[in-house]
Structure formats: structure tokens, C-alpha cells
Structure 1
């Protein structure tokens, strides 16, 4: 069992420079993967507005999605479908294809995010679906994970670009002093931004999610 992730660009048809946005996405994904190599198969463009990747564990996928959310520049967002289940390689005359329950679950998950955005939860950006046949423990972890993601996404969506950079830096282990130097502000200003933006709660929530699953 692995975790498949489908990332779908939010509002791609409204982007004025789709090619420029894709370059920015490619560069950001490459930077996040270089700094935090969590993916077994890093996100890569597939068809249309989608990227696909594979992670070894649910913790890695949930963390990887958050890092990318925080690293993306203002105006460019993904919605993320996270699918727990097996994936398999299928030989083709042209190239090796990836298929299996993990991908089907990820597709259902990204469609669920889209539906929630359109209805009652416009801040929703990510969702987890487990493929049929998982045990009761995984079913419980998926429910807990989705409750966490709903709250997490609501925080991230409302953060400024600077607040996202600060949160990203803290996940990477940078001190508040180092972040202050990076941003050209004072350390107390960094501390205040982390608290007022919800970034501190975001980081604690990520640690607790991993701890509960350990």
C-alpha cells in the first residue's frame, strides 16, 4: 500500500499566463522536493491541469501537500486528492503506465474537494479517500485526517504570502531569528505573524497528526 496524490490547478482557466504558471509550478515543486524529499515519485504534470505523485505513507503525503500549499506563490493553488491504496505499473508500447486502487481513490478524493468547494466549504483544498479493502484502523485515520485537513486548509487559504513563507520556514527548522533576517523584519514581528495567522496552530496540528498515527 502507498499513497497516490492528484493535484489539480484551482481556476486554471482564469490564469492569464497558463504557460508561465506551469513554469512556476514546476519550479516550486522541484524546490519543495529538493528541500523536503518526501515523495517516492514526486509530483509531475500528466494531462491538462493535473500533477500526479506517489508517497510511501499518509504522513508523508499530508506533509508534502502542506509544504507545497505554503510554497506556492500568490494566485496559484492546487486542490489535492489523496488516495490510500495499491498502485501498479502497466506496460505499454509507448511508456509504463501507473494504475490501481490508489489512483482511483485519489480521483474520488479530488472530485470530493471540488464538490465541497462548490457547495458549503469554499476553503477546502485537500481530501483523503482509502481504497476498498483497507482495515478499520486506516478507515479511522482517514476520517481523522479529513477533519484535520478541513481545518488546516481554512487556515492556509487565508494566510498572506509572507505568512506562508514563515510557516514553511518553521517546518524546515528555521529559527524565528533566521526568518526575521530572511524577511527583513524583527523577530517579534515574526512571532506575532506566526500566532495571528494561525501558523503556530498549523505546525502543532501537523505534529499532533503524525504523533497520533505513530
Structure 2
């Protein structure tokens, strides 16, 4: 099922240089689009700090949000609301307007991320919500159980470790990553082992295999 994603920039109003942050986000989006093609409509800025995109399946949407989290440098973060439900467009003089239960669910999901961050789960960044008509509450709950653990691992990683995990998700060897970072292979191995990267990488591989 076509899966809508809504994203926003964490703390966008407090960023010291909003324009530079947007440029970094645009670069990360382009990198993820190239490394994980197949989006129905890739995440793109809509208004203010909000982005919207459409993906061919829930696993594809979750894999994309992971890569984007890993690709972003320190100081620029996004939250993601993923919807399960029908999507469509309402025609207007300015072009089609995204509409439908899937989009409403994605909006509810990103509101849930906001609430989780302000309570007991500060590392939360991604949530899935199902529209009532989709009859997919069990699928959303299973996805969220995975996402809570995944997001906490990624939130605790350093910028370098995120780059290493991104590379491992795409199949780069530890030797290749060490050469790219100018560090030893043992340093790469240690960074991956101590960050829980193995679980994140294996989870990504399961997502893209579906």
C-alpha cells in the first residue's frame, strides 16, 4: 500500500542558521534518494519546516527514514510520522492537494512523536499510525515496537558512527569505511559494536528485502 510520510525539523525555530540547516537536509535527502530509489514521491519540503513524501510500502518508508536519520549531521534532526491508509488528491487551481485517511494518520503519528519526546522517550523520532479504515492497528503496533528501539540506538550514536552505520546498511566493508574516515578498521569495528549498529543494519536489510 502507498505509504505517506510527514517529517519536520526538530527545533527548527532555535537553529542558529536555518538556511544552512536546510542545505544540509537537502543534501541528505538527495543522498538517500540515490541510495534507496523507488519512492512514489520522495520527501520534499512543503512549507516551513515540514516535508512530505509517498513510498511504495511501509517497509520502504521505514528504511528511508532510517537512512535519512543516519545521513543527517549533528545539529539537524527530523521527526517522522508514517501513515497507513488510503491517499489521494483534491484538485485545485494550484494543482493536486494531498488528502485522505493515510495523510491524516501520518499527521497523528508525528503528533505522537512530539508527545513521546516530551515524556519518557526523548530518543523517539518515528511513529506509525493507521487510519481507522485501514484495519492495520496490529501492523502499526509491531512497527512502532521496532521503531522505538531503533530510534533510541540511532539517537545515542555519534555523527561518525551514524556515517559508518549508513555505509554498512548499503553493504560497505569495514575496510572501505575505515579508509573513508581516515581511521583504523579496528576503530570502525569498535564503534559499530558498542553502538548496537548490528541490530540497526540487520533491521534495515529485513526492511529492504520485503
Return the TM-score normalized by structure 2: 0.95
The match for 1:171 among 139, 144, 169 is: 169
Moved over 4 A (4+): 208-211
Confirm or deny: 8 A CA contact 1:145 1:209 kept in the other structure. Answer: no
Counterpart Cα distance in 2 of 1:192 and 1:210: 26
Where does 1:22-61 land on structure 2 (aligned, <5 Å)?
22-61=22-61
Unaligned runs of 5+ in 1: none
The match for 1:205 among 185, 199, 203 is: 203
User: Could you tell me which residue of structure 1 aligns to residue 120 of structure 2?
Assistant: 120
Confirm or deny: 8 A CA contact 1:38 1:55 kept in the other structure. Answer: yes
Alignment root-mean-square deviation, CA? 1.4
Secondary structure of 2:123's aligned partner: coil
| 1:132 paired to 2:132 | yes
Confirm or deny: 8 A CA contact 2:2 2:57 kept in the other structure. Answer: yes
Secondary structure of 1:177's aligned partner: helix
Confirm or deny: 8 A CA contact 1:38 1:64 kept in the other structure. Answer: no
- Greater shift, 33-42 or 8-17, is seen at 33-42
Return the TM-score normalized by structure 1: 0.93
User: Could you tell me which residue of structure 1 aligns to residue 86 of structure 2?
Assistant: 86
1:159-191 deviation per Cα after TM superposition (whole angstroms, max 9, x unaligned): 001100000001111111111111111112211
| Length, aligned pairs only | 210
